[in-house]
Homo-oligomer: A and B are copies of this chain.
Amino acid sequence: MKGRRFTAEEASLLQDIILNRRDVRGNRFHSDPIPEPALQQILEAGVNAPSVGFSQPWEFVLVKDATRRQAIRDSFYQENSKAGDLFFGPRAELYQRLKLEGIVESPLNIAVFYRPPEQAVLGQTSMDEVGRYSVVCAIQNMWLMARSLNIGMGWVSILDPVEVRSILQVPEDRELVGYLCLGYVDEFYEAPELERLQWERRRAMQSLVHHEIFQTGE
């Protein structure tokens, strides 16, 4: 085989990084800034993600200004108060107690946008959504890279994407894919917070994997 050959130990280290990655919320972010070389490594990981037809349809807005982050957090508050009404019984109560974002506590926010193509993109002709999916691949690369640098990251999705675009003065043809909060943290939990709190259970592998055709009657 031509190309770099990784060892079993190296594969196992990647597995450790994947297993130790967490979605980090505001209660555990430190405010000290992310050093420039670390930020560059995170962005480089993003732009080296796969993209359909090598279209690289990602754009990043780095937000540090406190006033601007407060405006984004206001959008979160507004969306989150609507969201709370969708959960019932004990879940409604638990929902209200959850800290779901670290927009102002984290020192750096990155809004990640999709730039739709102006002409046909190789590979994007049957399933248009794969352009946005390329941007998600970039975000996942950034998340793992951040974790390996012991930097926490949280993805905030309880936002009005049009509002975020307007606050950051982003052209109307762009589409918000993810809003990320990054910073050093007190702790990376051993398990996802929503698993610890028994909000959802982990699904068993055998219920997720089918062979040859889909087997119903799970």
A20 to B202, CA, bound (A): 31
| Cα-based distance from A82 to B15 in the complex (angstroms) | 40
Whether A83 lies near B126 (C-beta < 8 A) is: yes
Task: Count copies of this chain in the complex.
Answer: 2
| Closest CB in chain B relative to A93 CB, distance in Å | 13
A84 to chain B, nearest CB (A): 9
State in angstroms the CA–CA spacing of A15 and B82 once bound together: 40
* Bound CA–CA A184/B176 (angstroms): 36
Per the bound structure, the CA–CA distance linking A154 and B2 in Å amounts to: 17
1/0 contact string of A1-26 vs chain B (CB within 8 Å): 11111100011011111111111000
**Of B83, B177, B184, which one neighbours A1 at CB under 8 angstroms?**
B184
* Number of A positions contacting B (CB below 8 A): 109
In the complex, residue of chain B having the shortest beta-carbon distance to the beta carbon of A201: B54
**Contact status B145-A130, CB under 8 Å:** no
Interface string of A101-132 (1 = CB under 8 A from B): 00000000000000000001011111101101
Task: Report which A residues bind B (CB closer than 8 A).
Answer: 1-6, 10-11, 13-23, 41, 43-45, 47-50, 52-56, 58-65, 68, 79, 82-83, 86-87, 95, 98, 100, 120, 122-127, 129-130, 132-133, 136-137, 139-141, 143-145, 147-150, 155, 157-161, 168-171, 174, 176-178, 184-190, 192, 194-195, 199-200, 202-203, 205, 208-214, 216
Q: List 15 A-B pairs, Cβ < 8 Å.
A: A2-B186, A2-B188, A3-B20, A3-B188, A3-B190, A6-B147, A10-B13, A43-B205, A50-B140, A54-B202, A56-B208, A122-B199, A133-B133, A133-B177, A168-B212
